[in-house]
Structure 1
Amino acid sequence: MQQALRFLSPDAEPVDPPDIIEQARLAQRGSETVSRGLPLTIRGLRKSFGDNQVLRGIDLHIPAGQFVAIVGRSGCGKSTLLRLIAGLDTIDAGTVSFGEETRPEDVRVMFQEPRLLPWARVLSNVEVGLGRDRASSDAQGRAKKALAEVGLEDKSGQWPAVLSGGQKQRVALARALVSDPRVLAFDEPLGALDALTRISMQRLLERVWRDQAFTAILVTHDVAEAVALADRVLVIEDGQIAHDVHVELPRPRRRGSADLAALEGAILRDLLQSGDEPSDL
C-alpha cells in the first residue's frame, strides 16, 4: 500500500493515501518557484530481471523543478527506477512521460563513480557531456562555464588523476550540467566521499539545483542526505512506493535540527521494519 506522509513538524499527522492526481497536487506545494525542469509522470511501471520482479507497478507524479530523493534497502528497486526514468534500461510494462517531447540532452545522469576519461584533461571531460554539440563553436565556452559553476574553473587543464575524489565528482557534475539538462538524476553520487566532502557536495548540489531550476531525482542510502536536500522522500519497499514523505521545511536546512532528525527517524523506522535486506540490484 502506497502511503503519503506530510511532515510540518516532528509530531505531524499522516494524511490518507492519495491517488496519482491528488499526489500531484500535494507534490506541487514543494515547487512553487518558476522552473525550467520537466514534469514526470509514471504509471504502472514494472520491471523484472528473469524471475525477479523488481518494480511492481509504480505510479508517481513529480512536478517540474521538484527535488525528489528515493531511499530504500539495497535491492528494493530504487536504482532500477532511476535507470528506467533516464532511459538506460527498457521498461517491461507501464509508461514514463515528461509531458512533452524530450531531447537526449534534457535528461542526464550522475553516477557514484565519476567515470572520467583518464586520457583527457578536465575541460575535455566536461565537453563530453555536450554529446553531438561537442563540435559547436561555443563548446569550450560552455564547458568553462559549467566548471565555474562547480568551482573548478582553475582545474580545466589538469588531468583527472591529480584530482581529489570530491574534485572528480565536481567534474562529473559539470559534465552533467554542461548540456543544460531539464531533468538531472543522481545515482548515489556522493556515496564514496568522506563525510566533510560529502556535506560540501550536498550544498553544491542544492545550489546548482536552485540556480538552474531543473527537476532533480536523487537515489541515496543516506536518509539524512535525503531529508536535507529533497522536497519529497520516496521510500521504496518490495518494488513499490511504500511512503511518500513531503518535506515542508524551509531552506537552507540546518543539519542536526530537531525537525530534520524527526523526519530522518521516522523514515529509518519504516526502513528497519521492512524486513531483511536483500542483495543489491
Structure 2
Amino acid sequence: MASTPFAIANKTREYWPAARHDAPPNTSGLSLTIRGLGKSFGPREVLKSLNLHIPAGQFVAIVGKSGCGKSTLLRMLVGLDRSTSGEFWYGASPGQGLDKSAVRVMFQEPRLLPWARVLANVEVGLGRGRKETGARERALATLAEVGLEERRGDWPGTLSGGQKQRVALARALVSHPRVLAFDEPLGALDALTRISMQRLLERVWREQGFTALLVTHDVAEAITLADRVLIIEEGVIKLDLRIDLPRPRQRGTAEIAALEGKILDELLGETRAGENS
C-alpha cells in the first residue's frame, strides 16, 4: 500500500513525492519521513521546513547547486549534524530515535586507515561486531562482493582511487545497513572508473535492498541510479521527479537525455533566462 504523501510548498508551487518505483525485491530498507525539517547557521537559513516521505528500499538522488543544502540534509539524516527545527524518523513510528547501526554513510574521500590493511579497514564497519564469531569471514565475503578479495592483505596506499572507494563501500556494506547514504562518493574518480562504480552501487543496492540516499552533482549519474531525483534550491525542494525507466539504464538514450534536460532546465533556468534577455 502506498504511503500517504506530504505536500511540499515552494513559493507558489506544490510538489508531491513520486510513487515508489522499481524497489529491490525482498527490501530490507527503512522508510524515511521528514516533517518540517529546517537548518540554520546563525541568521542563514540553509534548509526551510522540508516535508518528504521516502518508501523503504527506494533509491533517491539529491541534486542542486553548490551551497544549496543537499549535503547538510544528508548529514542530518545520518546523525552527523542536528536540525534547527522539525523532525525525521526511519520506519513507521514517529519519534523513534536514530538507530545508527542501521544507517551507514559513504563519503567522497575513502577515509581508509593507512596503518591498517584492506581487510582490517572493512572490519571497521562491523564496529563492536568485529569480535563476534564469523566476523572476519563476513568481511572477506563483502570484499569479494566488491571484487577485491585478492587485495585483502594489501595496504590502502597501494590501491587505485577506484579500489579505495570499493573498500570504503565494502566497509559500509559489511554491517548490512538498512539505509546507505552516499555523499558524492564517485566525484573524484575518472569517467570509466565512475561508470564501473555506478554499476557496482546499483548491483549491491538491488541485492541487499537497503534504502539509498545519494547526493551528487552529476545529473546523468542521478538519472542512471535513482528511482527518484530531488532538486534542492534556496533551501526547499524545487522538483521531485520520478525516474520511470527500466534497469539497467544506458547513458546516451533519448529517454535519459530528455530527463537530464528537464533537470538541467530546473537547475540552470535562471541563468538561461538571463542569457536570453
- Shared fold (TM-score greater than 0.5)? yes
For residue 13 of structure 1, what is the aligned residue in structure 2?
none
Higher relative CO (Cα under 8 Å, sequence separation at least 6) belongs to: 1
Where does structure 1 lack aligned partners over 5 or more consecutive residues? 5-15, 277-281
Where does structure 2 lack aligned partners over 5 or more consecutive residues? 1-6, 273-277
Residues 270-281 of structure 1: pairs in structure 2 closer than 5 A = 270-274=266-270
Q: Distance in 1 between matches of 2:100 and 2:73?
A: 18
Superposition deviation, residue 275 in structure 1: 5.8
For residue 279 of structure 1, what is the aligned residue in structure 2?
none
Q: Identify the match of residue 51 of structure 1 among 38, 43, 48.
A: 43
Q: Identify the match of residue 264 of structure 2 among 257, 262, 268.
A: 268
For residue 253 of structure 2, what is the aligned residue in structure 1?
257
For residue 165 of structure 2, what is the aligned residue in structure 1?
169
Q: Identify the match of residue 27 of structure 1 among 19, 22, 39.
A: 19
For residue 87 of structure 2, what is the aligned residue in structure 1?
95
RMSD of aligned alpha carbons: 1.9
For residue 175 of structure 2, what is the aligned residue in structure 1?
179
Residues 204-219 of structure 1: pairs in structure 2 closer than 5 A = 204-219=200-215
Question: In the alignment, is the contact (CA less than 8 A) between 2:181 and 2:214 conserved in 1?
Answer: yes
Alignment-mate amino acid for residue 267 of structure 1: I
Q: Identify the match of residue 229 of structure 1 among 225, 229, 254.
A: 225
For residue 76 of structure 2, what is the aligned residue in structure 1?
84
Structure 1 residues 142 and 82, CA gap change in structure 2 (3 angstroms): same
Superposition deviation, residue 136 in structure 1: 1.3
Alignment-mate amino acid for residue 27 of structure 2: S
Number of equivalent positions: 260
For residue 8 of structure 1, what is the aligned residue in structure 2?
none
Q: Distance in 2 between matches of 1:2 and 1:237?
A: 13
Superposition deviation, residue 50 in structure 1: 1.6
3-state secondary structure, aligned to 1:97: strand
Superposition deviation, residue 28 in structure 1: 2.3
Superposition deviation, residue 145 in structure 1: 1.0
Superposition deviation, residue 219 in structure 1: 0.1
3-state secondary structure, aligned to 1:89: coil
Q: Note if 1:134 corresponds to 2:126.
A: no
3-state secondary structure, aligned to 1:273: helix
Q: Note if 1:115 corresponds to 2:107.
A: no
Superposition deviation, residue 138 in structure 1: 1.6
Superposition deviation, residue 2 in structure 1: 4.7
Superposition deviation, residue 254 in structure 1: 1.3
3-state secondary structure, aligned to 1:204: helix
When normalised by structure 1's length, the TM-score is 0.88
After superposing the two structures, state which structure 1 stretch, 135-144 or 59-68, moved more. 135-144
Q: Distance in 1 between matches of 2:256 and 2:83?
A: 35
Q: Distance in 2 between matches of 1:29 and 1:17?
A: 21
For residue 12 of structure 1, what is the aligned residue in structure 2?
none
Question: In the alignment, is the contact (CA less than 8 A) between 1:202 and 1:225 conserved in 2?
Answer: yes
Alignment-mate amino acid for residue 233 of structure 1: V
3-state secondary structure, aligned to 1:84: helix
Q: Distance in 2 between matches of 1:186 and 1:275?
A: 28
